[in-house]
A and B are shown apart, each in its own frame.
Chain A
């Protein structure tokens, strides 16, 4: 998978950085892989670092929202971290507020919030 560098496990959280050239096919595969990993391990949270993403369109937004839904069913929270300002403005303009997901400025912030839960 070219679009995802790695899935790392840190303090019961899965850290994923998504690269800008991720394709629709790859992101669906990622959703699948993450769902399996959450179910197999004792995972409290999934942290998606999207700071490399120049765009998040309705499809990618939807997949992320679905992933949050899936993790919740498996008792884990999904965080999106590092969203660029331009991406945030564009998503809002598209009407995609993504209320399903939790957000944080950075990986560190997300991990800190997860510890508090």
Chain B
């Protein structure tokens, strides 16, 4: 007997033995070594599997036309939502992408077994069902992986962001005078971050002078010099003055040898002179007290 739709057998299997499938799915995960009992309690795993399978069934029931489906479709909203939650949790607990994919793929075995029993010996029907389940579960797994990796990238991005912020403090030295002590290496990502951070602070504090101190920057090659000059140019565009301080004799020699033209940017060898010049610009002088 031919079923009325391509998904009829799969839905029958899911409806008649929903619980059994979940248990066996869990079992397969244990066997494949991807059930992280160190990270999730049994009850938690069972609960996640139940929610996922429920949403998956709903998607199959409503979101498969003929043999075609698209997980981006509205009909699969539920599955995508549950999956997003599950992935987020798993990423945060340190599950690997392989474990995550194997976890989803482990759903095939319990479904195949039941379809086989249902098909009796109608091999062409079984073949058709197995092919459809395979496509569905594969799509499910691929989608899971995408979400999972996306989630991980977001975490990495957030951490990178936090690290960058930590390493580029903008300090208000005096009213309308900012300083940016640069330390370590200045690559493109960091230079960009430094620049954004600096410009935002200029706006907030209405700073008129900015001292970029490069005493702590190990090497100044053409690229680093370019980054510095670009930052200085952006500072000037915003209407503030930029002084680059901490240019050691060695760095000065390198810069000249590299043919780097600092143009109109002011430079000072030490932060000391930069500071007194900056203060002078905003109307202050550093004076020795009489008592000394």
Contact = CB atoms under 8 A, between A and B. Distances in A.
Indicate whether A and B are direct neighbours in the complex (CB within 8 Å).
yes
Interface of A: 80-85, 87-89, 91-93, 97-99, 103-106, 109-110
B237 interface: yes
A109 B208 contact: yes
Contacts, number: 56
Nearest to A81: B239
B264 A91 contact: no
B238 interface: yes
Nearest to A93: B230
Contact of A85 (B203, B206, B263, B264): B203
Interface string B7-27: 000000000000000000000
Contact of A99 (B196, B202, B264): B264
Interface in B183-233: 192, 195-196, 199-200, 202-203, 206-208, 230, 233
Contacts of A110: 239
B104 interface: no
B240 interface: yes
Contacts of B208: 105, 109
Contact of A92 (B207, B233, B239): B233
Given A88-B234, A92-B233, A97-B233, A105 B239 contact: yes
A106 B239 contact: yes
Interface residues of B, number: 21
A57 to B, nearest CB: 14
A19 B236 CA distance: 22
Interface of B: 192, 195-196, 199-200, 202-203, 206-208, 230, 233-240, 263-264
B206 to A, nearest CB: 6
A85 B239 contact: no
B203 A103 contact: no
Contact of A89 (B196, B203, B207, B264): B196
Contacts of B206: 105-106
In this complex, the member of B196, B235, B239, B263 whose beta carbon has the largest number of chain A beta carbons within 10 angstroms is B239
A88 B236 CA distance: 9
A88 B199 contact: yes
Nearest to A90: B234
Contact of A105 (B196, B230, B240): B240
Nearest to B241: A103
Contacts of A98: 237
Contacts of A99: 263-264
A88 B264 contact: no
Contact of A88 (B192, B207, B237, B263): B237
B230 A103 contact: no
A83 B238 contact: yes
Given A92-B230, A92-B233, A92-B234, A83 B239 contact: yes
In this complex, the member of B192, B200, B206, B238 whose beta carbon has the largest number of chain A beta carbons within 10 angstroms is B238
A45 to B, nearest CB: 14
Contact of A103 (B195, B196, B199, B238): B238
